[in-house]
Amino acid sequence: MHLTLTVKVDLERVDEMDLEQKLSEWFEWFHAHPELSYEEYETTAKIKEILKDAGVEILPYSLETGLIAIVRGALEGPVQALRCDIDALPILEESGLSYASLYEGKMHACGHDFHIVAGIGCALLLQSQKESLKGAVKIIFQPAEEASIGAYKILETDVMEDVDCIWGLHADPTRDVGVMGIKEGFVTAAVDRFVITVTGVSCHGAHPDDGVDPIPAGAAMVQALQTIVTRNVNAFHPALLSVTRFQAGNTWNVIPEKAELEGTVRTLEKTDRVLFEKRIREIVSGIAQAYGVKAELTWMPGPPATYNDAEMVDKATEVAKECGLQPVVNECSMGGDDFSFYEEKIPGCYIKVGTGKGQTIHQPGFAIDQRALQKTAQYLKEVIVSNM
């Protein structure tokens, strides 16, 4: 009895407040208070405060950062999840916004502040009609997406065990507000990282014959690694390898002992991830032998490719049209998102939400057009309801 009364009172509060105005206030707060991966303490506290105030139930998981809210419908139905990532990046903001980051060198430059507020808005809207909802909706405020493995923190709990499907979103600054990028199949790539340490023998720059130079060996590896893409991978499979760091030596007349190379491999097909690791090992060890150096490869697998379920894509597209939004088939990105870890268990759909054209994500001038807030919250709510 008491519970019913509490909910009713809170529902009135949700109805009373101008949701658009509230979403904007909250968004500006989150934007001004960015926190890096695994450090999202204030962010978590603020999300909790807003949801509790609106009478939304928070599940009692003891996560260090991040939280999981639930809206339980009055009727029987499936359990769905919505994933919103909450962390920021180590970037010095140059957006010029009145509500720019208060923390120097930290910035919500990937729109995760937008994801938080869209998730809160969706939760509040679902909460306000829970009497007619079927099943339940778990809204996952996930830490540390930028660290590529924050999803593990959620998956270590049993929260996903009864979940039938999961929705995800990402801000897209290449499209106008109201445009929804929805694509069946692959939408982001698998993200793997590698480090190669090449060890030779240091000597005077004028006497290379006294040592073993690791630099030509490293340079040969950079060249040869590219042939995996052009000579080993099926020509119909998108794949790439980038060597992004090559460090060796510290002066002009000394041949250094070591060279270090680091980079990333992006693939869609699972078999290509295996192929890359195998070929990198073969190439690195073959070149090391040919140049008389020692070489060590460290292979760090990250999230797999994100794959959108066909039925969920159809629903999301249909609902976008019904909401007067513009669904478009977006291209697959060779970027990654740890949303894919959830999809190793259940079907998912990851939607690219137009947030107004401007600087790309991870740039100091990145900004969200706030007109996307209410639209996205409403849209996500409708998509989830349509799937009950």
Helix (H, G, I), strand (E, B) or coil at 386: helix
Per DSSP, the three-state class of 223 is: helix
351, β-bridge pairs: 169
In the complex, the smallest distance separating the C-beta of residue 84 from Ni ion, rounded to whole angstroms, is 11
Q: Which is nearer to Ni ion, 110 or 373 (CB)?
A: 110
Q: Is 151 in the site for Ni ion (CB under 5 A)?
A: no
The least distance separating Ni ion from the CB of residue 83, rounded to whole angstroms, comes to: 12
Contacts (CB under 5 A) with Ni ion, residues 328-387 = none
Specify burial of residue 331 (Cβ count, 10 A radius: 0-12, 13-18, 19+).
exposed
- Cβ proximity to Ni ion: between 171 and 293 the closer is 171
Which of 72, 207, 107, 160 minimizes the C-alpha distance to 347?
160
Q: How far apart are CA 319 and CA 290, in angstroms?
A: 59
User: DSSP per residue over 23-34, as a string?
Assistant: HHHHHHHHHHS-
C-beta nearest to Ni ion: residue: 110
- Written as six digits, the tokens of 375 are 């639209």
State which residue, 144 or 259, has the beta carbon closest to Ni ion.
144
Provide CB contacts within 8 A for 200, sequence distance 6+.
211, 212, 213, 214, 217, 255, 256, 257, 258, 259, 291, 292, 293, 294
* Residue 314 CB, nearest approach to Ni ion (Å): 25
CA quadruple 259, 260, 264, 265: dihedral, nearest 10: 50
> Nearer Cβ to Ni ion, position 110 or 385?
110
Residue 387's CB: how many other CB atoms inside 10 A? Answer: 21
CB 170, min distance to Ni ion, A: 6
Least Å distance, CB 353 to Ni ion, is 12
Binding-site size for Ni ion (CB under 5 A) equals 1
SS3 (DSSP) at 296:
strand
Binding mask 244-283 for Ni ion (x = CB under 5 A): ----------------------------------------
Phi-psi region of 249 (alpha: psi -120 to 50; beta: other; left: phi over 0): left
Output the six-digit token pair for 106. Answer: 């930290």
Instruction: Write down the least CB distance from residue 87 to Ni ion, Å.
Output: 9
Site string for Ni ion, 84-113 (x = CB under 5 A): --------------------------x---
* CB-nearer residue toward Ni ion: 194 or 339: 339
CA 344 to chain centre: 15
Nearest to 15 by CA among 154, 169, 129: 129
CB of 8 to Ni ion, least distance (A): 37
Q: Strand 75-85 and strand 134-142: pairing?
A: parallel
- Please state the closest distance from residue 159 (CB atom) to Ni ion, in A: 21
Nearer to Ni ion, 321 or 362 (CB): 362
Asked if 154 and 65 touch (Cβ cutoff 8 Å), the reply is no
* Closer CB to Ni ion, 110 or 353, in the complex: 110
Q: Which is nearer to Ni ion, 115 or 315 (CB)?
A: 115
Q: Which is nearer to Ni ion, 122 or 198 (CB)?
A: 122
Do residues 117 and 27 lie in contact, with contact meaning Cβ atoms separated by under 8 Å?
A: yes
Q: What is the closest distance, in whole angstroms, from the C-beta atom of residue 142 to Ni ion in the complex?
A: 11
Q: How many CB atoms lie within 10 A of CB 294?
A: 16
Instruction: Please say which residue, 116 or 123, places its beta carbon nearer to Ni ion.
Output: 116
Q: Give the nearest distance from C-beta 56 to Ni ion in angstroms.
A: 24
| Residues in touch with Ni ion (CB under 5 A) | 110
